[in-house]
A and B are shown apart, each in its own frame.
Chain A
């Protein structure tokens, strides 16, 4: 149900994003999806990677603040309105989206999402048959 996301704190300074990407590359960690949330002074880099725990360890080693947390990665078919259909179900239960980012993979588009009430979302996914990516599927994805 949940998949592991790697998050890194970075200041808005030239070259910071690059050095994170370099570290991951040097350690053969594959990035499947990435999003940068930023304010005027700092940002949070959120990623789906081939090995989140190893990613955290190597970034920490290099002096970055990194963490791994659970998010849900929803499969959305390439059809108009399919994402909103999923969101409608969740909205009806008063669940809000903390953040999301999307990536495309073959016949599916995928939406990485963090919700206000993850346990309740898990229940709804089960009940309504919303399709999600498993951890194994994510980590073995390559392009």
Chain B
């Protein structure tokens, strides 16, 4: 099944024509409504008229997460506040969130994109989708929820956590589709297996997103739950989940290209990479009203293919992610930057200790352990004081990152330093 055959199976010429006309309109609108971009374009000596089609895309300035933060909260919005129907936000590295906004039409398009991707995964009106992404400022929960309703399927809005309740509802309500992070799906699968309830569920598919995963995990999940597991990709700055997703052939994720124009660039030279080469994925939004973005740098490393898929769709496909061009980690679906840990530790007493983040996956759940060197100023002759210190650091980190953190005190000079710079992260999960 294809939700919107006209858009998903367009010829390349039709697609580039559509993208070009949308881009021209979008650039015009942004120039006149967003001071930030107008100034940038003026500095670069370009006018809206210089952009006549997607071949002119590389004349436009890039946008980064820092630009959104610098214009916190609503500085990049292109519509009056009264036209904003909803906002979402993601936590930022400096404590300030990145805020994104949507008009009613933006939400309708978002729902359409999610509905396309759900259909790609075989979901129909007959299905019930248990949505285990966080509902709230995070785009995951509400994004998938609205797409589910738009498609006409039944949404079971569970949000995250409470495994036992999730399983009971899954069985009692007969959920046929699970939408969650892959690691949480593994956790649910294991809980079902341990309690001998694997045969009590009606799941046929899982829509996995918000964190990287491997083909091994897919196979494992599919075998254990007897389902098909699909990828859904998105990022709040660009929209949320629904920017791209994969079909039953699992040959890359189909981008909703009529709304999001992709590029792959070399993160160092910022020039487009050779056709099919790996580079940083960049998106220009083509239809977004509230928060249109020029060339948003996702920092995700991937390659693009424009070949028609066996499923019949002609949309560009991005390969499984090969990593990040920055140091962001995704832990239990939450974006974590080492700089967040650093500034949180700095806030404890104004001096930055040596630390090391160790990310692992224990029993399918991600764990973050932060090793902190006990420098002389932290040291005490009493266990109780060191215990207090451990708890305090854990609490500070937990509130800064939004995930549980285990803190371990280690001796000074035990965290490896290479060329004077300490290594900050060890990721044992091997997700890429």
- Contacts from A to B (Cβ < 8 Å): 5, 7, 9-11, 16, 37, 39, 41-42, 44, 46, 60, 63-67, 69, 98-99, 114
Contact = CB atoms under 8 A, between A and B. Distances in A.
B11 interface: no
Q: Return the 9 tightest CB-CB contacts between A and B, nearest first.
A: A63-B413, A7-B381, A65-B379, A9-B374, A65-B374, A65-B376, A11-B411, A9-B379, A37-B383
B383 A39 contact: yes
18 contacts: A9-B374, A9-B386, A9-B409, A10-B411, A11-B409, A16-B411, A37-B383, A39-B383, A41-B408, A44-B380, A63-B412, A64-B411, A64-B412, A65-B379, A65-B411, A67-B381, A98-B382, A99-B382
Contacts of B94: none
Nearest to B409: A42
B410 interface: yes
B14 interface: no
Contacts of B414: 11
Given A9-B374, A60-B376, A65-B376, A44 B411 contact: no
A65 B353 CA distance: 13
A59 B96 CA distance: 42
Contact of A63 (B379, B387, B411): B411
B381 A5 contact: yes
B412 A65 contact: yes
Nearest to A39: B383
Contact of B376 (A11, A37, A39, A67): A67
B340 to A, nearest CB: 24
Contacts of A99: 382
- Which label, helix, strand, loop or mixed, suits the secondary structure of the B interface? loop
Nearest to B378: A65
A39 B387 contact: yes
B193 interface: no
Interface of B: 374-376, 378-384, 386-387, 408-414
Contacts of A16: 411
A83 B411 CA distance: 35
A98 to B, nearest CB: 6
Contacts of A46: 381
A114 B383 contact: no
Contacts of B382: 44, 98-99, 114
B376 A44 contact: no
- Which label, helix, strand, loop or mixed, suits the secondary structure of the A interface? strand
A10 B383 CA distance: 12
A16 B414 CA distance: 12
Given A10-B411, A39-B383, 15 more contacts: A9-B374, A11-B410, A11-B411, A39-B386, A44-B386, A63-B411, A64-B411, A64-B412, A65-B374, A65-B375, A65-B378, A65-B379, A65-B411, A66-B379, A67-B380
A42 B374 CA distance: 10
A42 B376 contact: no
Contacts of B374: 9, 42, 65
Contacts of B375: 65
Q: Which of A9, A60, A69 has its CB near the most chain B CB atoms (within 10 A)?
A: A9
A2 B105 CA distance: 76
A9 B411 contact: yes
A57 to B, nearest CB: 12
Q: Which of B374, B380, B411, B414 has its CB near the most chain A CB atoms (within 10 A)?
A: B411
A89 B383 CA distance: 26
Nearest to A6: B381
Contacts of B387: 39
A4 to B, nearest CB: 12
Contacts of A44: 380-383, 386
A32 to B, nearest CB: 17
Contacts of A66: 376, 379
Contacts of A69: 381
B387 to A, nearest CB: 7
A65 B413 CA distance: 10
A133 B372 CA distance: 37
A93 B84 CA distance: 67
Contacts of B384: 98
A65 B375 CA distance: 6
Nearest to A63: B413
Contact of A7 (B379, B410, B411, B412): B379
A10 B386 CA distance: 12
A67 B411 CA distance: 14
Nearest to A71: B381
Contacts of B381: 5, 7, 44, 46, 67, 69, 114
Nearest to B381: A7
Contacts of A98: 382, 384
Contacts of A65: 374-376, 378-379, 411-412
A37 B380 CA distance: 12
Nearest to B410: A11
